[in-house]
Amino acid sequence: MLLSIIIPAYNEANFIHDVIRRVQETPYEKEIIIVDDGSVDGTRDILKGLTDPNITVVLQEVNQGKGAVLREGFARAKGDIVIIQDADLEYDPRDYPKLLEPILEGKADVVYGSRFLGGPHRVLYFWHYVGNMGVTLLSNMFTNLNLTDMETGYKVFKREVLKDIKIESNRFGFEPEITAKIAKKRCRVFEIPISYYGRSYEEGKKITWKDGIKAFFTILKHNLFR
């Protein structure tokens, strides 16, 4: 089994070394694909200095958003299983074994790591939690899935699931879009509790309430008009 780990990065100079080290420590045959989304804080310089042959670095000239980054990463992935690993270390690579287990056992095509199923997590923003529950509920109403955390950053796919999926969203609309599309493909989806070390805005958190509003329209677009 070859594991393709796609790391979207934007202004993560303080974390990128750590996330690469922790991903490399996971006990799998793997390729690491890091797509920098026009960083201006020195992240690109760090990535240009990497020499590991198992790491592919893609430098996008302008900031386009998470969806655009993942579209590029998916196109380059060669592994049997593809996992998204955010560069900010809100998500812990030590959770890989339990995320991969349902796929390796032949039970799942897609696995979502849920921040709300009982794993340890940092206590942070109440209204973020409410917003997350709202967009997850709306998504579930259209997809007929019973997810607890549609917006999770930890999503794992058998590569064959992604082959005929075209990602249209450039930014955080990726999450509801991919959820709508795997639901339409009738993929077998599992949720696994994960640990979550959320960041504050002072520490570099990027998603805002505006992305929640956009998620609402993305859910309607990809469930009703696609």
How confident is the model over 166-177, as a mean pLDDT?
90
pLDDT reported for residue 151: 93
The label of the residue with tokens 């995320």 reads 99
In whole angstroms, what separates CA 85 from the centre of its chain?
6
Q: Please provide the average confidence, as pLDDT, over all residues in the chain.
A: 90
Question: What is the band of 199 on the pLDDT scale with cuts at 50, 70, 90?
Answer: low
The reported pLDDT for the residue numbered 202 is 61
Looking at this protein, which amino acid is placed at residue 59?
L
- How confident is the model over 108-134, as pLDDT tens digits? 999 999 999 877 777 667 877 788 889
The arithmetic mean of pLDDT across residues 64-88, rounded, is 95
Nearest to 45 by CA among 89, 88, 9, 70: 9
Residue range 3-224 in CATH 1.10.10.10? no
